[in-house]
Structure 1
Amino acid sequence: MTRQALVVRGGWDGHSPVEATELFIPHLEANGFTVRVEDLGTDFGAASTATPKVYTDADYLATVDLIVQCNTMNTIEKEEFEGLRAAVEAGTGFAGWHGGIADSYRNNSDYLTLVGGQFGCHPGKHPDEREGGPQDNYMPYTVNISPVEHEITAGIEDFDLVTEQYWVLSDDYIDVLATTTQAVREWDPWNRPVTSPAIWTRQWGKGRVFVATPGHDPATLKNENVKTIIERGLLWAAR
Structure 2
Amino acid sequence: MTRKKALVVRGGWEGHEPVKATELFVPFLRDNGYDVRIEESTGVYADAPEMAATDLVVQCVTMSEITHEQLSGLRTAVEAGTGFTGWHGGIADSFRASSDYLHLVGGQFATHPGKEPCERHGGAEDNFLPHTVTVTELGRTHPVTAGIEEFDLDTEQYWVLHDDLIDVLATTTHPARPWQPWHRPVTSPAVWTRRWGAGRIVVTTPGHSVDVLENPSVRTVIERGMLWATRTASAS
Structure 1 match to 2:44: 54
Match of 2:69 among 70, 73, 79: 79
Note the C-alpha offset of 1:238: 0.5
Letter in 1 for 2:98: N
Deviations along 1:72-98, one digit per CA (max 9) or x if unpaired, are 011001111000000000000000000
CA distance in 2: counterparts of 1:82 and 1:229, whole angstroms: 28
Match of 2:90 among 79, 83, 100: 100
Question: Secondary structure at the residue paired with 2:172?
Answer: strand
Structure 2 match to 1:39: 40
Deviations along 1:17-71, one digit per CA (max 9) or x if unpaired, are 000000101010011000000013xxxxxxxxxxx11110001111000000000
Question: Secondary structure at the residue paired with 1:201?
Answer: strand
Letter in 1 for 2:150: D
CA distance in 2: counterparts of 1:17 and 1:34, whole angstroms: 20
After TM superposition, which residue ranges in structure 1, 4 or more long, deviate above 4 angstroms?
none
Where do 1:17-32 residues align within 5 Å? 17-32=18-33
Match of 2:99 among 89, 95, 109: 109
Q: Does 1:237 align with 2:229?
A: yes
Number of aligned residue pairs: 228
Structure 2 match to 1:189: 181
Letter in 1 for 2:70: E
Question: Secondary structure at the residue paired with 1:14?
Answer: helix
Deviations along 1:142-191, one digit per CA (max 9) or x if unpaired, are 00101221011111011000000000000010000000000010000000
Q: Does 1:123 align with 2:124?
A: no
CA distance in 1: counterparts of 2:43 and 2:22, whole angstroms: 19
Return 5+ residue gaps in structure 2 as ranges.
232-236
Letter in 1 for 2:104: L
Match of 1:203 among 195, 198, 214: 195
CA distance in 2: counterparts of 1:105 and 1:83, whole angstroms: 15
CA distance in 2: counterparts of 1:200 and 1:145, whole angstroms: 11
Question: Secondary structure at the residue paired with 2:184?
Answer: coil
Q: Does 1:159 align with 2:151?
A: yes
Letter in 1 for 2:127: N
What's the TM-score, normalizing by structure 1?
A: 0.95
Letter in 2 for 1:30: D
Structure 1 match to 2:162: 170
What's the TM-score, normalizing by structure 2?
A: 0.96
Identity score, percent? 63
Match of 2:126 among 136, 148, 152: 136
CA distance in 1: counterparts of 2:43 and 2:226, whole angstroms: 22
Note the C-alpha offset of 1:231: 0.4
Note the C-alpha offset of 1:134: 0.4
Return 5+ residue gaps in structure 1 as ranges.
41-51
Note the C-alpha offset of 1:107: 1.1
CA distance in 1: counterparts of 2:97 and 2:148, whole angstroms: 35
Letter in 1 for 2:35: T
Structure 1 match to 2:15: 14
CA distance in 1: counterparts of 2:15 and 2:122, whole angstroms: 14
Note the C-alpha offset of 1:202: 0.1
CA distance in 2: counterparts of 1:39 and 1:85, whole angstroms: 19
